[in-house]
Amino acid sequence: MPGRAFTIRLGNGVEVLGKEEFRFDADVIEPTGTFCISHAHSDHLPKRVVGTSVVCSDTTLRCLNGRSKKQLTQAHRPDIETFDAGHMSGSRMFQVEVNGRRVLYTGDLCTRDRCGNQGARPVKTDVLIIESTYGKPRYVFPPSDLIASLVRDEVEDNFSQGRPVSLYAYPFGKSQDMLRVLREFSPFADQSVFNATALVRSEEDPLECQLWDGDDPDGPFVVICSPWLNRTKQAEALRRRDVKRLAVSGWAIDSGYKVKAGVHEAFPFSDHADFNDLIAFVKACDPEMVITHHGFSDSLAYEIKARLGIEARPLIRGQRSLLEF
Ligand SMILES: [Zn+2]
Ligand SMILES: [Zn+2]
């Protein structure tokens, strides 16, 4: 049935091109066409905005409009189904129909419930385009609750010795998780974490934190800061003092991570699905074909074929996947 074939390729974002055309996490929002933005991490946001409307959550739109002069509105598209991707506040998966086939695009994905975020639930689909950040079998994380309590214990230990703590986490997503985990310690936030938090807080989830100005409060304190803090005055203050430096990242599984990140302790905590989560999610979505991208896409495609017997291939720039059914 050649009439049902369509193409998936990496062009202006992830392009799904059949009788209908969709672009996911595109670099440029063009004046015409359908553009879906999965979440507000900068590697998924457009670099240039020419068009006027996109499909995304309220939170993503707020973050997007907060950093661009050109203001976007939400496109009204009842034909595009959206599902919580569980990755960060407002992160969404999209399901569209192309030439009579259901295509699910996950964006960044976390299927585990963690720190007040509900994980993404599988969606039955014909074609699945899935992220593969941790697409190698060695990336398997301990339960989030366990890591959360280890982080709390670590902070408490340091406080009991009068030692302040800095904790590195990306401003959007993991920082808010850590604000929830460390609520009882009245955490401080650096400017970027503070700004990001202001954009995603809600009445149900107030995410209380104080802005850290680089001065020492009385007694030990914990400050959640961006890994890119290095060049600021605050970073100098953190280095001058006897500060215990912690980080939360899925890459903490790698033995060299602590040294590379310049921290004393690193905890394998992520807002992405780990390898086992990815495989379980693919299985439950029950697709005929999987396209992997973002991260270890070769490895994940290989493992999906080997473990689940489902056709899978990585999305490679310059190559198109023609899907024929
Ligand atoms: Zn992300
Ligand atoms: Zn990403």
Whole-Å CA distances, 273 to 28, 52, 110, 135, 144? 27, 32, 4, 9, 11
The angle subtended at Cα 296 by Cα 137 and Cα 302, nearest 5°, is: 65
d(CA 311, ligand 2 centre) in Å: 24
Given a cut of 50, whether residue 1 has pLDDT beyond it is: no
d(CA 241, ligand 1 centre) in Å: 32
pLDDT value of residue 200 = 85
* Residues found in the chain: 325
Identify the residue with better confidence: 237 or 196: 196
Distance CA 71, CA 314 (A): 34
The H or E element containing residue 245 is strand 244-248
d(CA 141, ligand 2 centre) in Å: 18
d(CA 170, ligand 1 centre) in Å: 10
Given a cut of 60, whether residue 206 has pLDDT beyond it is: yes
pLDDT value of residue 230 = 62
d(CA 110, ligand 1 centre) in Å: 10
pLDDT value of residue 229 = 62
The torsion angle over the Cα atoms of residues 150, 156, 162 and 164, rounded to 10 degrees, is 50
pLDDT value of residue 3 = 63
What pLDDT digit, counting tens, does each position of 281-291 carry? Answer: 999 999 999 99
d(CA 137, ligand 2 centre) in Å: 19
d(CA 141, ligand 1 centre) in Å: 17
Q: Which distant-in-sequence residues (6+ apart) come within 8 Å of 223 by Cβ?
A: 164, 165, 166, 167, 187, 188, 189, 190, 212, 238
d(CA 191, ligand 1 centre) in Å: 20
Given a cut of 70, whether residue 238 has pLDDT beyond it is: yes
Q: How confident is the model at residue 205 (pLDDT cuts 50, 70, 90)?
A: confident
Nearest ligand to the C-alpha atom of residue 14: 2
d(CA 319, ligand 1 centre) in Å: 24
d(CA 131, ligand 1 centre) in Å: 10
What pLDDT digit, counting tens, does each position of 303-321 carry? Answer: 999 999 999 999 988 887 7
d(CA 119, ligand 1 centre) in Å: 14
The angle subtended at Cα 265 by Cα 213 and Cα 137, nearest 5°, is: 125
Distance CA 285, CA 310 (A): 11
d(CA 160, ligand 2 centre) in Å: 37
Out of 36-50, 199-213, 293-307, pick the least confident.
199-213
Whole-Å CA distances, 325 to 6, 232, 291? 9, 55, 15
Which has the closest alpha carbon to 93: 43, 135, 57? 57
Identify the residue with better confidence: 5 or 38: 38
Given a cut of 70, whether residue 105 has pLDDT beyond it is: yes
Given a cut of 70, whether residue 2 has pLDDT beyond it is: no
Tokens of 149: 């309590």
Distance CA 238, CA 88 (A): 27
Q: How confident is the model at residue 79 (pLDDT cuts 50, 70, 90)?
A: very high
CB distance 35 to 25 below 8 Å: no
Q: Which distant-in-sequence residues (6+ apart) come within 8 Å of 201 by Cβ?
A: 207
d(CA 26, ligand 2 centre) in Å: 13
d(CA 44, ligand 2 centre) in Å: 6
Nearest ligand to the C-alpha atom of residue 173: 1
Q: Which distant-in-sequence residues (6+ apart) come within 8 Å of 90 by Cβ?
A: 39, 40, 56, 57, 58, 59, 60, 63, 200
pLDDT value of residue 204 = 83
| Domains of the chain as residue ranges with CATH | 2-138+272-323 (3.60.15.10), 144-267 (3.40.50.10890)
As a whole number, mean pLDDT of residues 227-244 equals: 73
pTM tops 0.85: yes
Give the chain's mean pLDDT: 92
Q: Residue 230: what residue type?
A: N
What pLDDT digit, counting tens, does each position of 120-148 carry? Answer: 999 999 999 999 999 999 999 999 999 99
The torsion angle over the Cα atoms of residues 240, 243, 249 and 251, rounded to 10 degrees, is 70
Q: Characterize the bridge pairing of strands 92-98 and 265-267.
A: unpaired
d(CA 38, ligand 2 centre) in Å: 9
d(CA 305, ligand 1 centre) in Å: 25
Given a cut of 70, whether residue 211 has pLDDT beyond it is: yes
d(CA 41, ligand 2 centre) in Å: 7
